[in-house]
Structure 1
Amino acid sequence: MDARIRIAIEGFSDAKILIISVAAQMAGMHPQTLRQYDRLGLVQAGRAAGGGRRYSARDVALLREVQRLSQDEGINLAGIKRIIGLEHLAGDLQQQVLEMQDELAAAYRRIRELEAMSPYPRRDLVPTGQTSTALVVWRPREKPQR
């Protein structure tokens, strides 16, 4: 069994336009199998106004992958559902990382802009000629009595 399983359904349309018989034929499955997978939450079909299930090209690709994992890899449906969930989570996390990288790059650009505008870069650091070992004791000022 392949240790790396990747569900690659990017690039397929999300438009839920295929009726169950067409989607089943495209996936090489019986329509009842699609109904079962929908009930189990493996592949969620859309619903037409009359209540009939509608599938997208992405759903058909996912159905084919479910079939491959089940038949070729011997993974049970609960395992496949877990894999699909983890793939969705990984995709969401990758998207968040990309967004955070963009925000970080924008923040660094802004810092560079602000530092370039200042005639005294890094004003918070003041160089001194010598180091001191003196101890400084700070006491808050006493408020005057009223």
Structure 2
Amino acid sequence: MTGFALARPNRLRLDAFARQLGLHPQLVRRYVALGLLDAHRDPGGELWFRPAELARAGRVQRLHAGLPLNYAAIGLVLDLLERIEELQTTLRKGGRGWTSTG
């Protein structure tokens, strides 16, 4: 009998995460060490990733390939892009923007 997953996994092991991105696991470890990706360690020391980190890792790869930036600068760009997305979401929901006072 063949089984099918009913839901996406809520976390991925390092090897599965790297395989989905087409990256070497050591490069993924480097991204974690540089603070570009968030990962959790289990009691055995193995890295686990939330599926949402796949998109962030893809963004890191695109920024690194497309712009002459070092990894520290890529981290800053990622933080700024996330902040812009938060502000746009707030504005779409009718919230006050960053230029508002009080």
**Fold agreement, TM-score > 0.5:** yes
State yes or no: 1:86 paired with 2:88.
no
Query: What is the aligned-residue identity percentage?
Result: 30
Query: C-alpha offsets along residues 66-103 of structure 1, whole Å, 9 cap, x if unaligned?
Result: 112212333221221011100121222234433526xx
After TM superposition, which residue ranges in structure 1, 4 or more long, deviate above 3 angstroms?
none
| Separation in 2, partners of 1:38, 1:14 | 20
Give the conservation status (yes or no) of the 8 Å contact 1:24–1:34: yes
1:26 is matched by which residue type in structure 2? Q
Flag structure 1 segments of 5+ consecutive residues without an equivalent: 1-12, 102-146
How far apart, in 2, do the equivalents of 1:74 and 1:32 lie?
22
Q: Give the one of 10, 22, 25 matched to 1:28.
A: 22
Give me the whole-angstrom Cα distance separating, in 1, the residues matched to 2:78 and 2:61: 13
- Give the counterpart letter for 2:50 in structure 1: S
**Structure 2 residues without counterparts, runs of 5 or longer:** 1-7, 97-102
Question: Residues 134-145 of structure 1 correspond to what in structure 2 (within 5 A)?
Answer: none
Q: RMSD between aligned alpha carbons? A: 2.3
Question: 3-state SS of the aligned residue for 1:83?
Answer: helix
Indicate the structure (1 or 2) with the bigger Cα radius of gyration: 1
CA separation of 1:88/1:20 partners in 2, compared to 1, >3 Å: closer, same or farther?
same
2:50 is the alignment partner of 1:56: yes
In structure 1, the residue matched to 2:95 is 100
> Is the counterpart of residue 67 in structure 1 residue 61 in structure 2?
yes
Which residue, out of 34, 43, 67, partners 2:37?
43
The TM-score with structure 1 as length reference comes to: 0.51
